[in-house]
Amino acid sequence: MKQNTTYLKKLNSESVVQQVINCLTEAMIHKELKPGDKIPTELELSETLGVGRNSIREAIKILVYLGVLEIRRAEGTFVCEGFSESMIDPMIYGIILDKSESYDNLMELREMMEVGVVLLAMTKYNEQDMENLEDKLRAMKDAIEQGAQNTQEAFQADNAFHDAVSQMGHNPLVDKINRVVQMLTYSVRLETVTHMIQSGRGMELYEAHENICRMLREKDKSNINQNIRETYFEEEIKR
């Protein structure tokens, strides 16, 4: 059976490696290449696209590094099936290296993402999900009550709470994107937890998260942006 190659067409000469990447990506987007499919050989791609094999080889190396393709020895190169952590890296580095004033942009992204995650969780969680979240909330309280010497454990408990909220939405794509935002905001979130606990205000941090849990339990969407924002304690951190 001949493979459909509508998107595998000859390229012009500029930015050849990137164009090969774009071409293969288009083929995946339009389902000409599906997860688990074997892609054409270097020689076949070279002849179809009208570019040198070195350009094909470099493009494949990049897509393998990004977790999009995988090379199986003696079998060939295949489209990956499923998500790889390495797919996150380019997005993170792109934001880190952004020359614009990114803090406010990042905080806007954080709020938008966390509000969306909570709203999705409200519509899809089950009782087991809620019990798990309440367990995470209790663990967070226990860690906070141990005081300033337990800041790292409290931060990990905070992360576990937010991971549980994200998973309550039962949408792996949202969960993965949320994880990117969590990675990007790691330092500011750690600073918040550290400041609140070491200044003796750990229970305020706990109560803000308890309110998120209440909102989910009651499916209360009122003032959701404000309630999410109150877990950031931005004004206290800036003082």
The residue extents of the domains of the chain are: 16-84, 89-238
pLDDT at 1: 42
Tell which phi-psi region holds residue 200, choosing left (phi > 0), alpha (psi between -120 and 50) or beta. Answer: left
Q: Give the residue with greater pLDDT, 104 vs 102.
A: 104
Pick the CATH number of 16-84 from 2.40.33.10, 1.10.10.10, 3.30.565.10, 3.40.50.300: 1.10.10.10
**What's the CA gap between 68 and 25, in Å, rounded?**
9
Assess whether pLDDT exceeds 70 at residue 239: no
- The CB-side HSE value for 141 (13 A sphere, CA atoms) comes to 11
For residue range 203-222, list pLDDT tens digits in order. Answer: 999 999 999 999 999 999 99
Q: Which residues pair with 76 in a beta bridge?
A: 72
| C-alpha pair distances (Å), 226 with each of 79, 141, 221, 230 | 43, 22, 11, 6
Q: Give the residue with greater pLDDT, 225 vs 94.
A: 225
Could you tell me the sign of the dihedral formed by the alpha carbons of 18, 15, 7, 26, in that order? positive
- Mean residue pLDDT of the chain comes to 88
Assess whether pLDDT exceeds 60 at residue 178: yes
pLDDT at 14: 53
Tokens of 121: 């969780």
Q: What is the CATH number of domain 89-238?
A: 1.20.120.530
* Widest Cα–Cα separation across the chain: 69
Asked if 159 and 107 count as a contact pair (C-beta separation under 8 A), the reply is no
DSSP character for 75? Answer: T
pLDDT at 86: 66
